[in-house]
Every structure is written in C-alpha cells, then in structure tokens.
Amino acid sequence: MRRRIQDEFTDMPISRQRKYQLRMQRDRRCTECGAPAIQGSRCLKHLVKARERQRKKRGLKRRYYGTLSYKLQAMST
C-alpha cells in the first residue's frame, strides 16, 4: 500500500484546498494553477485576474500602470 503525501501540512485541520494552497506557496507556485509564481503567490495570469477582481469589488476607476502586473502583461502581449 502506498503512503499518502506526508509533509508539514498533512495533519493540519484544514481543507484539502487550503493545504494545496499552502504547498504552492511554500514552493513559490501559483496557488490557483500551480504555475511558477511571478509575484506573491500567483502566476501572471492569475495576478491579472486577481487585480481585475479587486478593481470590480472596490469600484476603482483609476489604473496604476506602474504596477508590476501591468508591466508584465504589456511585455507578454
């Protein structure tokens, strides 16, 4: 019988999803898709997604084009 993945998160009383996120953070990977993280804990794609989600929620009108995610987005298109 194969053993399950055993690491520092295995016995924590948290959800599987939360453990996945913590493991991704530990390995500096995107917490949503597992791709290499650009900044914080997200890849570029999800960095942009998170940014747009926050804009909507807060009703922001301005865009801060100096922000890392915009620069990277411009570079990748």
Q: Which listed residue (24, 30, 51, 69) binds Zn ion by CB under 5 A?
A: 30
**Considering beta carbons, is residue 35 or 72 the nearer one to Zn ion?**
35
Q: How far is the CB of 45 from Zn ion (least distance, A)?
A: 5
The SS3 call for residue 36 is strand
Take residue 50 and report the two structure tokens written for it: 């998170």
Take residue 10 and report the two structure tokens written for it: 């295995």
Q: Which listed residue (12, 14, 33, 60) binds Zn ion by CB under 5 A?
A: 33
What is the C-alpha to C-alpha distance for residues 26 and 21, in angstroms, rounded to an integer? 9
Residue with tokens 């801060």: 64
Q: Which stretch binds Zn ion (CB under 5 A): 9-17, 24-32, 52-60, 64-72?
A: 24-32
